[in-house]
Amino acid sequence: MLPLGSCRGKGCVPSHSARVTTTCPPVIPAWPVILKAHPVPDPSDSPQVSPLALPADLARGLAQKHIPGLDGIRAIAVSLVLLFHAGLPVPGGTGVLLFFVLSGFLITWLLLKEANSTGAISLRSFYVRRTLRILPAFYIYAAVLLTLFWLRSRPVNVPQLVAALLYVNNYYQGLHGDPNTGFSHTWSLAVEEQFYLLWPFLFLFLRRNPARMARFLSFAIILVWIYRLVLIYGFHVNQGYIYEAFDTRADSLMIGCLLAVLTHAGLAGKMFHVICSARWMLPLTLFLLVLSAAAERAFGVDYRDTIGFALNGVLAFLLIVQVICVPASPLNWAPVRYIGSISYAMYLWQQLLLDVTGKALTTVFPGIPPALRILLEFASVIAAASASWFCVEKPILSLRKRFGLISAA
């Protein structure tokens, strides 16, 4: 859901990805499982991970009811977005990329789990889950924002509004520019929605052979890297399009998909043993992400659009694996997990509340210290996101459970 240093709408989106729930013991046969006629699915079947092929810590983490650390990664991602939009020199765009990779991983993991436990994929259930998870919270935000526009007699950019409501604002802004409104951040929501529309069909075609799926994803990721370079240097496409279009950002989502396939099928075990071989490798990955952010700050879009997107996607791949392997990290502290659980709503409301709260504070308290202002802005976003979680999203989650749609992302 734009380049650093640009307007407020260009640096963010939470992943509205699901919590993965499992209840089975960690010793499980590797996927794929060939199901005979009339299988009897176990609704509580856990993701099929081969603990023999993967490092023990990674297999143990993947087999847990709630995969450790993933809410912590969401918390980091949404915090980067908020701090960037609050005016701090942090890599907000890296937060977006983390959400994309995490979303690709979790959506694919859930599809693999469903295929393994039932022998089929229900596209109807998938899209009902997506609709219930994403649309209500967003349309409530949109209704509040439009009401404020009306009360304050502010004009509405109708083409951008329509594009946002239809989840194509990434292409509208990529082609026409970002008018910097309360809907500017919906470009990244559109990227994820377009992924949800396309990937399940490709998954159905490839799911019988996990090795083939992994090869397809690897080839597609490299193809997007080459395609992006051709657009930049061959056709001189503007950086706004490069940043926001689905066809130029799909590699981040597919990197997450590839991670899910490799871990679920127990492929590339040696690689995962290296990634998880030492505790210092997690700090190293974080350091490399910071170094990449510094390079982006120094060299701008010339680095970000060519090297940064590709390198940061690979580093996000490593980060997810290493965080799962270290369940005792601060990313699993309860306050951090809570921020991760409401990250979608935080992403939605930050576009409005950072601006409104900041202006109100500087008007009432002209000499307010910047650190205190940012802290209070952050608190206002958490308050609104919590209201959205408890009043909108959580009741809908209960509705999903009632109708057997509990694996929603």
Q: Give the model confidence (pLDDT) of 259-297 as tens digits.
A: 999 999 999 999 999 999 998 999 999 999 999 999 999
CA distance 167 to 403: 26
Give the per-residue pLDDT at 407: 53
Three-class SS of the chain:
CCCCCCCCCCCCCCCCCCCCCCCCCCCCCCCCCCCCCCCCCCCCCCCCCCCCCCCHHHHHHHCCCCCCCHHHHHHHHHHHHHHHHCCCCCCHHHHHHHHHHHHHHHHHHHHHHHHHHHCCCCHHHHHHHHHHHHHHHHHHHHHHHHHHHHHCCCCCCHHHHHHHHCCCHHHHHHHHCCCCCCCCCHHHHHHHHHHHHHHHHHHHHHCCCHHHHHHHHHHHHHHHHHHHHHHHHHCCCCHHHHHHCHHHHHHHHHHHHHHHHHHHHCCCHHHHHHHCCCCCHHHHHHHHHHHHHHHHHHHCHHHHHHHHHHHHHHHHHHHHHHHHHCCCCHHHCHHHHHHHHCHHHHHHHHHHHHHHHHHHHHHHCCCCCHHHHHHHHHHHHHHHHHHHHHHHHHHHHHHHHHCCCCCCC
Q: Is the pLDDT of residue 380 over 50?
A: yes
Residue 236 within any structural domain of the chain:
yes
Length of the chain: 409
Q: Is the pLDDT of residue 9 over 80?
A: no
CA distance 110 to 376: 37
For residue 371, the Cα-to-chain-centroid distance in whole angstroms is 27
- Distances in whole angstroms, Cα of residue 231 to Cα of each of 216, 224, 245, 354: 22, 10, 12, 34
CA distance 167 to 129: 17
Residue 164 within any structural domain of the chain:
yes
CB atoms within 10 A of CB 396: 17
Where residue 373 falls among pLDDT bands split at 50, 70, 90? very high
**Count: domains in the chain:** 1
- 263 closest CA partner among 42, 112, 70: 112
- Residue 367's region, left for phi above 0, alpha for psi from -120 to 50, else beta, is alpha
CA distance 99 to 81: 11
Q: Give the model confidence (pLDDT) of 11-67 as tens digits.
A: 444 444 444 444 444 433 344 433 333 333 333 333 444 444 899 999 999 998 788
Give the per-residue pLDDT at 53: 81
- Segment 163-188 shows an average pLDDT of 97
Residue 175 within any structural domain of the chain:
yes
- 193 closest CA partner among 249, 121, 237: 249
- 247 closest CA partner among 223, 273, 264, 265: 223
Q: Is the pLDDT of residue 329 over 90?
A: no
CA distance 293 to 304: 9
Three-class SS of 159-219:
HHHHHHHCCCHHHHHHHHCCCCCCCCCHHHHHHHHHHHHHHHHHHHHHCCCHHHHHHHHHH
Give the per-residue pLDDT at 404: 58
Give the per-residue pLDDT at 342: 97
Q: Give the model confidence (pLDDT) of 178-229 as tens digits.
A: 999 999 999 999 999 999 999 999 999 999 999 999 999 999 999 999 999 9
pLDDT higher for 172 or 17?
A: 172
Question: pLDDT averaged over the chain?
Answer: 87
CA distance 11 to 113: 32
pLDDT higher for 384 or 8?
A: 384
Residue 392 within any structural domain of the chain:
no
Give the per-residue pLDDT at 403: 57
Q: Is the pLDDT of residue 371 over 90?
A: yes
Q: Give the model confidence (pLDDT) of 131-164 as tens digits.
A: 999 999 999 999 999 999 999 999 999 999 999 9
Q: With pLDDT > 70 as the criterion, what percentage of the chain qualifies? A: 85
Residue 117 within any structural domain of the chain:
yes
Give the per-residue pLDDT at 66: 84
Give the per-residue pLDDT at 405: 57
Q: Give the model confidence (pLDDT) of 297-327 as tens digits.
A: 999 999 999 999 999 999 999 999 999 998 8
What domain range includes position 85? 57-121+155-341
Cβ pair 53, 229 in contact under 8 A: no
Cβ pair 157, 181 in contact under 8 A: yes
For the ranges 15-19, 75-79, 118-122, the one whose mean pLDDT is highest: 75-79
Residue 276 within any structural domain of the chain:
yes
pLDDT higher for 26 or 86?
A: 86
Residue 402 within any structural domain of the chain:
no
